Each structure stands twice: as C-alpha cells, then as structure tokens.
Amino acid sequence: MADGGITDYVAVLRPALAEAVGLEESDIEPSATILGDLGAESIDLLDVLFRVERVVGVKISATEIADLLQGDLSDDEFEGPGGIVTAAGLDQLQRVLPQIDKAELAGRLVADDIMNLFTVENLAYLVAQRAAMAADAR
C-alpha cells in the first residue's frame, strides 16, 4: 500500500461520515473538508469518531485532533493577536494538513476556523497513524 493504508481508512470513514451527515457514500471524497464541504457539525464529527472506534478499535478524541493540529507549539506560538494563526502555526498546520496554501492563509486564518480545513483524508491519515501505533503496542 503506497499510501500507507490511507485508502483503506477512507473506505472505513465513508459510511461513518455518510450516516453522520446524511450523504451518500459516493459523495464523500478524500479531499472534502468535513465541516465545510460535507456540512458536518462538531457533534457529527464526534459521532464519526465514535463510529470509527467501533469499526477500527482506535479511539480518537476531538482534543487529539486539536493537539495534532497545534503540534508542540504553545498557544502563544500558534495563535497571535485577534486569534490569527502565526507563521509558526501555519508551518505546523502544513505539516499535518499538506493541502493548505500557507501563502493564501498567512495573516488571515483565524484559529477557530482551522477545523474547516480538516479533510476526510486528513482524518484517515490520523486513524491510520493511531491504528499503527496500537498494533505496535501489542
């Protein structure tokens, strides 16, 4: 699996997302943003995470997603005045959300809007990562 199994995890996420947001599985593309393109609410994301846990056996919390996005940066390093994500914050986000355009977001991205950039593929990567960690721990 050249993509590290991401395709397999997208296949797991599709039914969970479809049921949570009331879409057809075929409407759920890996590049779709969960809260934006798919129209999910925060509660829907929690529902999806619960469904993934039941199917894959990997528990992921909303806090873990936030920690992934912020990385090792402190709140002050990640977010500047007015809640705008700093240059260091954008560097961190690009590591975990490689699809973002830092130049387009520089000086404009409000920290509270970051989850609007989180895609199905980003979540699949996180699930794959956690599943691999769980397998290694056994």
Q: Do 134 and 57 form a contact (C-beta atoms < 8 A)?
A: yes
pLDDT < 70 regions, the chain: 1-4, 138
φ, ψ for residue 33, nearest 5 deg:
-80, 140
Cβ neighbors of 126 (< 8 A, separation 6 or more) are: 60, 64, 65, 68
Domains of the chain: 6-137 (1.10.1200.10)
Q: How high is the pLDDT of residue 2?
A: 41
Mark 93-122 as b/e (b = at least 16 C-beta within 10 Å). beebbeebeeeebeeebebeebbebbbbbb
Q: Model-level pTM?
A: 0.90
pLDDT, tens digit, 9 for 90 and up, residues 37-57: 999 999 999 999 999 999 999
Tell me how far apart the alpha carbons of residues 85 and 108 are, in angstroms, rounded to a whole number: 8
pLDDT of residue 60: 94
